[in-house]
Structures are given as C-alpha cells and as structure tokens.
Structure 1
C-alpha cells in the first residue's frame, strides 16, 4: 500500500506501508480497476489515492448537503455560499501539516524513462525502486498506452516514436518480458517496427538509447561540450539559452563528450534485436544521425542545421577526439562538470526539473560512482515521484506550488474566519518558501541572475525563482484584496506578517527582470532574454519549439503588474517612481501582444482563455478599465463569443498546439476554463453591463460540484509544448470564480 508522508523540511515522498486496513485496500484496488477499464475515455487520473487517505484521516468532517441550481433565477448568495463552504471544507482536508497542498502535476510521458535508464545503468534500479515502485511505474506505462500500441508525448497525444521507444525500453528494464502485458509489449514493438524502427527516433531518444548502449553515439548529431568554452559575447553561447534548455544541454554535452555507454546487459543486447528493422551490426549510423520519424517531427530542422551538424560531426569532432584537440575536450568536460555541480549544490540536488535532475545524477555517477554528489542525488529522487490510481509517475516539478493561488481563492470567498488554521499554515509555508539568498559565487560566471527575494515553482531549496511565482508570493503575503489585508488580519488567524525587507527583496528582483531590449517591457520566466528569437533555427529538438530563449509572456507580465501595484499601495516609499514606469511599460507590452480577435495566447495554460484572463487582469491592475481601454473591450467580446451552450467555456489543448482557438470535442465545458473566463469578465466589470453570462457560468460550476465537495478532474489545463495536468486547478479556480461571483456579482447587484 502507498501512503503520503510529509518529510521534515516539507518534502513529500511516498513509501510503501502495510498498516492499512483491508477495507482501504479494497477501495484503492477498486479505483485502480475503474481507471484501467475506462483509460481510453478518461485518460486523466483524479488523484484518488491521496484523497482516499485524507478522507480516512478526516472522518469527523461534516459534509454539507449538495446544492443544485435548475435555472439561473434559482442562484442565490446562500446557495453559492453553501457551495463554497463545501468546497473549502473539502479542500482544507487536502492540506499537509506544513501548510502546502501536495498533489499530482503530471502529463508528459518523456520524464520517467530517463529515471529508469539512469538507475539501471548505475545499479540503483532495485536499491532505489522497490518491487512496489516498479509495479506502479509499469501500471502507469500500460494505463497510458494508446490502443494501437504506442505512446504520445503526453497522455492525450497521438503516438510518437521517441516516447514509444523509451517507454518500451523502460518496461523491459523494469523486468517486463518482450511478450508481457497481455499483448501490450508486442503491440508496442510492432508499432515501432512498422514506423521505421528505433533508428528514426528523434534526438533526445537517440541520446538516451546511446547512453544505455542500444544505439551508437555515431548515430547522434554532436552535442559538444566545447560550446561551453566559447566567448559569452556570442549570441549562440549556451549560457544565453532559456535555463531549462541550457541545463538539459549541459549534462547531455558531458555524456556525449565522454561517449559514455552503460554496462551491456542481456536486456540491452535483447533490445538491440527487438526495436530495429535490420540487424544491429548492419545499421548505417551516419544515415541514422539525420533520421526522424514523422510522428516526432513537430518542428522540422532547417537545412542550415543539417549543414552545421554535418560539419561538426565530420570535421570538428574527429579533431577533438585526437591529440591535441583531445586536450580541449578534457578541459571542456571539466568545465561542464563544474557547472553541473554548481546547479546541483545550489538546488540542494533537486535541480530545475526532472530531466536535468536524472541527467546530472548520471553525470555525477559517471565522474565517480562513489562520489558524495551521486549519493546526495538519490534521496531527492523521491520528491519527483507521485502515485495515483493510474500508477506511479514522475512529476514535472518537485511539487509545492499554487499555494498563492489557493490563498487568493480562499480569501475571495470572504469566509476566511471559518478557515483560520488552513490560512495560517499556508501563510507560514509561503513565507518559509521564499528564497533568502542569491546563489553562491560569481553569478555571471555561472550564468545566473540574482535570486534573493523570489519564490520558485517548487520550494526555497530549489532556488530558481520565477517571475509569476514571485509575483503571487508578493500578493499573498501583502494581500490587499477587497479592502482587507491577509497580513493585517489577526495574527492569531493567519500568523505574523512578513518582514518588509523581504518584500523589498522580492520587488527588487522583479524590477531587475523586466525585459526592455527585446519586448519593451514584458516579463519572461526565470531570467532576462539573453539572445534572439532567430536562435530557434539552431534548436536541435524536433519535438519542442520556441524554447531556446526566455521569451516574455502575457501571464508573467500581468502577474508582475498585479504584484507591484498591490505592493505600491502598501509601501509607496520603496522605488515608487520605478514601479510606476515598470507598470506602464508592462501594460503597453500586454496591449501590443493582443491578437486581432481580442485574445491573448496563453503559454502556461490552455490557452486563449488563460492568456486572456491574464491580459485583462494585468491591464485592470495597471489602471485601465472597460470604459477607457479598447483592449479590455475586445478581450471581453472574445471571451463572450466562446461561451458554449452549457454556460461554461471549454478549450482543447489543440489551441496551444495549433495556435487557433479550439473547443473541446462536443463543445463540452471545462470547469477550469470556465473559472478563468469568469474571473476575467468579473474583473472587467461584466456584471455592471450584463451579468447573465456570469450567472450561466456560475450555475455550471455549482452543478459540477461532487457529493464530497470536490470538483471533477477533466482534461489538460497547462501547456508550453509539454502539456500538463495540474490536479489542484480543479479546486482552485471554481472556488476562486465562485468567491468573486458571490462578492462582486451577487453582492454588487444588491
């Protein structure tokens, strides 16, 4: 059995325990079986294992009767309040003792194979992953296999060669036989062979297979460590890449430069026979270097890349493999490892994300299998693992974000006095999660921006502040919403307010991150934009595009405007003039970014609904209004035009992929999209013009609530190439939207 344990320091990790009752075991087996039976129609897990555990730990909770609205005339403040109390009561039970809300944050199927391959190479597969871990990982792979045998980049996506090959390989390494899985392994293998075999896997797959010994390094385009020795003044220097991109390139270049290959086991030899259409020793690896299955070719390579990689492979690489060029190779490898160790040490071995986490860990083992660095990596693997009714997966982040959004949702309801302990714990957790120091050493040498004062997408330990996370942190710990402050509420209710100096640090960080040169005032994610968009023509990844530099986004820019405008009302004396200039430039950027139809493309949520919510909210925070700003008027018209017959909004992940607004199949509503649209329209004053669309949307949310106060899990809610499903959103945004609706629509109509 599995049980969520919150470790000292706030890190959730999962252990196998045997002290659960037989009744609970039967309940868990039932939800697993139900998911397996319905996996093709409902691909998303509902995070039920955690919910079952917390329900058993909170059996004394009083569940209020479910509310149902038959017509919008039936909506009353009492009914909305009852719905909110049911939702807040349930959501409070999901909070951990340290104040955060653990939960699923999943979707991409490309994360787990790296962990399995790395542990199989280092000999840690059986030591780190128990038989129960391996069984649940296999369950996850099988549950998300498409009916024709393959796997997509994400659990709703069509088959891709890279994920199908890597998942098949992972299952074999986990002990599954070539014909196991009740025919699933055979179907996967047949799909691979029918679509060209593993020689046509895209570049990331080639690298992982080469590391394992199921592909030759000569079949890869170069990922040379020497590029880290180039002068930083060059716009193509890897230190100028978006941090996620460069921190994946970094360990890959080390492994390529070392031509590292793991131990050749019997399983590796068998895989060489299973996933290629010709005998392994007859494969033309030079030809394979440029092969890519059409299923992986989301972003075709331009001709200039073929010329560049061919030159590096045929001319430059041979020089670096032999003296005196080999001297430069050795120096480059040492430099790269120094950067890897710097990333590890400054993130407490969590790393910025799951892909570079396992790559860095492998590099530390390759450098020295007995090193302290490798051993320090191992305990932090559990931070990324999560188990639900669909099996065990590797999350995209370590896992504690969204506390700020949850608090805003709670406070929007004006029911805070009833949930003091919940607010107090969350407030304390957010304060404790702030990054209080910059990274060590010379930041320029390590290509790092200042960090002090920021909030991360994870915990303070991880040390990578994000602009919108920092903005949400500022809003929550200063919180002036609807005429009252979170930090000015009774300290007995929410805890002591944060020290003003720590707020100043956060504001200083945000002011330092405004992108003037490339955008005129927008905000990216982690850092300033360091190079140019034409760098995308050198992006070697066929499956991910628009990732080479840190672009400015409407979401990040809007969040910063909201935070700075809130902060200035409370602390007008701290850099007030600079904040005013920053806000106005950021607002102009948002206006310029708006599409002709009135929408904004959302990169971090799906998609135009999400972006348009942020566009409106940012402009309102900057002092614009429906009456004075044509951009807000166009945005409202856009949102209203997308409301479906059920009263809600429902946007497909295909909007993100194709950059054209696409409804969910059958024009279904999605409670999270509906929440975003309601919040945007309420901020834009829709209730003062015609509240009918808001009443219809509120009816949908009220009637969507489940018997226990939870809301149902639906489809995707987050994007940027690797589509994500964030379990928390199904609770946060219906609560927040209904809270605003109760106080600003129904309350305003009185």
Structure 2
C-alpha cells in the first residue's frame, strides 16, 4: 500500500525541526563544522608518527587502539569504508600500530589480520605510501620504493613533469617526501616489534621490483624503466644539484608552513613536513614543527573511551552548505544566524596568491579554502558555494559582501580550464599520463576538470546573473555534454558518485539558463528517476567507482536522496510519483532531534582508495530539499 503524499503541515513541521537543529549546531562566531570521518589509516598513521618522533602518550594511544579494534571487520581486516572488502594497506598499518602499542601477536585480532595480510601478498602488495611508512622503520627496503630524486624541485615549469603539474594534495605530500626519500632515515625496531611475520616468504627473497604490464609498450612500462634509471642516478656519488634541490625544498616548505592551518590543511602533508624538518636538523621545539603538531592534534576526535583522527576539517564547506540550506528552507535572509555566517565566511576569503597562480599568474586572488585556513590552496568548490550563499544572504555590510563576491567571481572565472571545465585547486592540471608513474599507484596524482566542479561553477555564474550565452558558460556546458555517460548521468569526483555528479550538473544547467528540454538534460533526469529505490530514496555504493555498472545502485540514505530531489527540482520535476516518494522517504527517516543520519559514507577523497563521511551532510541537504519542495507547494 502506497503512503499518502506529504501534507503542507508535515513539511512545515519537518522543516522547522530541521532548521532548529541546524541553528542550534552553529558556533557562536557563525560557522558550522561537522566531523569529517575517514577510514582507520589516518589514526594508524598518527600512532606510527608518534613512535617515529618518540612522542607516544600511552593513555591516548590506548584510546586510539580501542577505536581501531572496534573497526576491525568480521573477517579480521580493515577496509576503506563501512562494509568494504579488505584493504591491504589499511590492514598493514593498523596491525603495525597495534603491535607497536603492545598488542601481542597472539591476540585473536592480530592473528586474523596477519593471515589476511599474508594471504594478500604481504607488504610487497601494499601501496607506495604504506611502503614508505614501513621503510621509515626499516620494515621495507628503500630500494623497493619508487625513486623520486629531490632534484625534482629544480625542474622548470615548462618541463613536462614538475611539482606544479600534479595536484595540490600530491604536491604538499611529495615535497616533504622528497627530503625524506633523499635522506632515507630509518628508526630501527627491536626484534620483537618487527614485522617478519607479515611476509609470506622471507623478506630477503621477496620480489620488490615493480611488475610490468604484459603489453611490451605501455606508459606503465615506460615509467618503470624511468624509475630504474632514477634509482641508478640516486646511487651515483656525484650529484652536483642535490644540495641546491634540498635547499629549494626546504624554502618551499618554510614559506607554506608559515601560513596558518598546517601544510595544505591535510594530515599526510603535515605529518610528512614534520618528519622532513626533523631530517633537516630542525629541533622538535622549533615553531614550524610545533605549528604542524598543533594542527595535527586539532584533527583529533576524542570521546570517553576512544580517539581517532580526521584527515582534515571542513568548516568553510559546512558553513556554506548550511547557509544555503537555511535560506532555501525559508529562513529570513537577514536572520542574525545567517548574517553571522556571512561575516565568518567573508573573513575566510583568501586575498594572497597561492600555488594556483603558477598557472594563472594574472588572476587576482579571491577564493575560499575548505578548512579554517589554507592560504596557498583555495578551491573552486568552496568558493562557488560560499558565493552562492552570500548572494542569498542580506549581510550586515552589503558593500563588503559585494566586493568579496566580485573578487571571488573573477578568481573562479580565471580558474576555468582550456577544456572548458573546472578542477578543484588548479587549472589545467590534466597530464593524465603521469598517473602511470610507480609513485602514483593511487591513481589520484592530478586535479583535472570534473563534472561536479563544472556544474558548481555554472550554478555560481547563474546565481550571479550570467546566462548560457556567456562564453565561459557555453564552454562549460560543452564540457558537460562531452563527459555525460550514455545512460545520462555524470560522474561525481568529490561526492558519491553519479547521483552527486548529476545533482551538481543539473543544478548548474538550471541556474545558467540552459534549455532543460534538451535531450541530454532529459536523459539525466530519466536516469535519476530510473535508479530510485522502492523505499522512495536514492543511494549509491562506493563500489560504483570501481564498477560504473553500479552507478546509482545502493541502499537509500538521506543525503543522496536529497541530491536526487534537488536535481529533479532543478530540471523542473517538482511533482509526480518519484518526487512524492522521495519526499516521503525524507519525512519517514527524520529523527526526533530534527536531524537525519547517513548510515553509509557519502564523500570521496580519492576514488577507489580514500573515502569520507561528512557527518553534517545528512543535517543540511535534506533540509535544503524539503525547503525547495515546500516553496513549490505554496
């Protein structure tokens, strides 16, 4: 028996409760920030870092170990998200962290993990970053790690490979790693803490060379040959540019570490920076090291019995999205909470050049970061969402708001790529062949234009009054036409996955004034309707990143349902069975405290290797969808 259509009274009550929850979650200074949860690798890496630095706090370590134990899967391993299959690298790091914390090898949790690790091939089959971590403890040979000579720092910008031809997240991780890989430090462990038991064959007999593809001619095989040559170069006694390259890397680091927020605002870069500075002789009390350690500790989520670490924090993103949701839900644009949020967001605008200016030297600064502070790395997604929020809020200082949006819009326009799309942190960062180098086994070395970012930029342009005949908008639309899948959906780089990408694109096309009757637009709408679940909601498994045949397939969750509904509303579908069932799903899953809860992960760090759960997505996206729907029922 079908459920009755939502009534206006039901909608108003749900919106009021959801709005009250969100307003009560706002910080006094006007911002919102929810937990940004990742898999266990960040917490494991933190514990290993503490051992490398001899900074182990046994009480806090014990709390982190309880957290790690609680997330072991029934088969004995650790995965990348709830319900994921074994991830070898995550399992090795967690096993290592537990062992250094004193968990005996005979512990059932250790025994189960050990068997899985050995069965999956052991450390040789782990990813590059895991091998580097093991090498720092003498548990993997440095010669088995891809070569990355520090002289890379001296490669000119016209050279095909240089540090500005990789993404910001790769760059901030790689530069300190260049110092580490040049020095190749090792913290030797006592015999009882070593990891011999993880090797299926004795480590001295293990094959640690990179496996070539069967095709004699391939980019992967080419870069493996290059890696072999680089390893030979590293063994040469005479390297006249080595000291100069190390100094260049040191200066690059110092410049960026002086800015607030930690290197790149992300844990891996900050941790590597600390280790690199220690290798260069900086004492632990040095302000640059203490600054990074302070930022790392700010990522902690400590509860009564457990402790874990976030990869970064998301206050600008959460604040922009919460503000948009509140305005769209009918909260007065001059509401004090929104005015405080607007003030806080304007205070976060970055007015100094960053790494992005290497590709766009004539563009004025004006973007926003994801974190509290990340001066060198604003991004298009946050900037666009912030400016859309500011455009809807009646700020206490209208002139300042207008100036901020004008600056930000110029920056976003300047960041458009030659292909017509937008990437996240850099423009024209698309030398995809570099993903074949052995160091890039994660496949996320670059920051090319993506469908979701392009949709967001178009939505911003439309919000600011531009239309589809505006040249940058037309180029963006053509990019989206060229990247649409045959079934009608679009890929989602930063959210899961095709539901997220299709939401971003359809919102952008609607805002910019594209003809929504165009066949390609309607194909996207039909795809969304075709993947609605019987319970009325939408959901998509993270496995769709590995198997596109699973696009739009998964258990319904509130945030993905809200994305689908917002996409349908943007396409002009504001009524009908699909919409009514989707709204009913949100009403039925609404919790007593006014919030929703996503039981599964909803965000993407790096497809196939690192996923996220934004805890606030289920707090503001459903409110946003209900608010837009309610306006159509007025």
TM-score norm. by structure 1 comes to 0.78
Show the 5 A alignment for 1:91-110. Answer: 91-110=22-41
Secondary structure of 1:125 counterpart: coil
Instruction: Show the counterpart of 1:699.
Output: 584
Alignment of 1:212 with 2:137, yes or no, is: yes
Question: What is the CA distance between 1:451 and its match in structure 2?
Answer: 7.4
Question: What is the CA distance between 1:656 and its match in structure 2?
Answer: 2.1
Cα distance in 1, alignment partners of residues 352 and 580 from structure 2: 47
Instruction: Show the counterpart of 1:11.
Output: none
Question: What is the CA distance between 1:328 and its match in structure 2?
Answer: 2.5
Q: CA distance change for structure 1 residues 695 and 443 in 2, over 3 Å: closer, same or farther?
A: closer
Q: Is the 8 A contact 1:601 1:611 kept in 2?
A: yes
Cα distance in 2, alignment partners of residues 729 and 147 from structure 1: 28
Cα distance in 1, alignment partners of residues 630 and 327 from structure 2: 12
Show the 5 A alignment for 1:703-714. Answer: 703-714=588-599
Q: Is the 8 A contact 1:350 1:462 kept in 2?
A: no
Q: CA distance change for structure 1 residues 206 and 336 in 2, over 3 Å: closer, same or farther?
A: same
Show the 5 A alignment for 1:336-347. Answer: 336-347=249-260
Cα distance in 1, alignment partners of residues 366 and 406 from structure 2: 8
Instruction: Show the counterpart of 2:225.
Output: 307
Q: Is the 8 A contact 1:525 1:552 kept in 2?
A: yes
Secondary structure of 1:725 counterpart: strand
Q: Is the 8 A contact 1:608 1:661 kept in 2?
A: no
Alignment of 1:505 with 2:407, yes or no, is: yes
Worse overlay, 303-312 or 165-174: 303-312
Cα distance in 2, alignment partners of residues 402 and 693 from structure 1: 28
Instruction: Show the counterpart of 2:625.
Output: 737
Q: CA distance change for structure 1 residues 121 and 460 in 2, over 3 Å: closer, same or farther?
A: closer
Secondary structure of 1:724 counterpart: strand
Instruction: Show the counterpart of 1:487.
Output: 394
Match for 1:403 among 307, 315, 319? 319
Instruction: Show the counterpart of 2:494.
Output: 604
Alpha-carbon deviations, 1:386-432, whole Å to 9, x = none? 24689432213223122111111111121338x93432332222122
Question: What is the CA distance between 1:347 and its match in structure 2?
Answer: 4.4
Cα distance in 2, alignment partners of residues 289 and 206 from structure 1: 13
Alpha-carbon deviations, 1:194-242, whole Å to 9, x = none? 3333343232111111112222212322122122222321212232111
Instruction: Show the counterpart of 1:54.
Output: none
Q: CA distance change for structure 1 residues 194 and 641 in 2, over 3 Å: closer, same or farther?
A: closer
Question: What is the CA distance between 1:443 and its match in structure 2?
Answer: 5.5
Q: Is the 8 A contact 1:254 1:336 kept in 2?
A: yes
Alpha-carbon deviations, 1:483-519, whole Å to 9, x = none? xxx126xx4xxx7663432222211211210101xx1
Question: What is the CA distance between 1:531 and its match in structure 2?
Answer: 4.7
Alignment of 1:374 with 2:289, yes or no, is: yes
Q: CA distance change for structure 1 residues 477 and 290 in 2, over 3 Å: closer, same or farther?
A: same
Instruction: Show the counterpart of 1:671.
Output: 558
Cα distance in 1, alignment partners of residues 40 and 433 from structure 2: 29
Cα distance in 2, alignment partners of residues 449 and 372 from structure 1: 33
Alignment of 1:658 with 2:547, yes or no, is: yes
Q: Is the 8 A contact 1:477 1:497 kept in 2?
A: no
Q: CA distance change for structure 1 residues 387 and 591 in 2, over 3 Å: closer, same or farther?
A: farther
Q: Is the 8 A contact 1:435 1:451 kept in 2?
A: no
Cα distance in 2, alignment partners of residues 219 and 273 from structure 1: 16
Q: Is the 8 A contact 2:346 2:401 kept in 1?
A: no
Question: What is the CA distance between 1:682 and its match in structure 2?
Answer: 0.8
Cα distance in 2, alignment partners of residues 78 and 538 from structure 1: 58
Instruction: Show the counterpart of 2:76.
Output: 149
Instruction: Show the counterpart of 1:237.
Output: 162
Alpha-carbon deviations, 1:338-373, whole Å to 9, x = none? 222223223443534111111111111222242332
Q: Is the 8 A contact 2:354 2:375 kept in 1?
A: no
TM-score norm. by structure 2 comes to 0.91
Match for 2:94 among 148, 155, 167? 167
Instruction: Show the counterpart of 1:335.
Output: 248
Q: CA distance change for structure 1 residues 708 and 352 in 2, over 3 Å: closer, same or farther?
A: closer
Alignment of 1:471 with 2:373, yes or no, is: no
Flag structure 1 segments of 5+ consecutive residues without an equivalent: 1-68, 293-299, 480-485, 570-575
Instruction: Show the counterpart of 1:562.
Output: 459
Alpha-carbon deviations, 1:232-274, whole Å to 9, x = none? 2121223211111222222222111111113x243x7522444
Instruction: Show the counterpart of 1:271.
Output: 194
Q: Is the 8 A contact 1:141 1:167 kept in 2?
A: yes
Alpha-carbon deviations, 1:456-493, whole Å to 9, x = none? 111245541110110111111122xxxxxx126xx4xx
Q: Is the 8 A contact 2:47 2:61 kept in 1?
A: no
Cα distance in 2, alignment partners of residues 390 and 515 from structure 1: 48
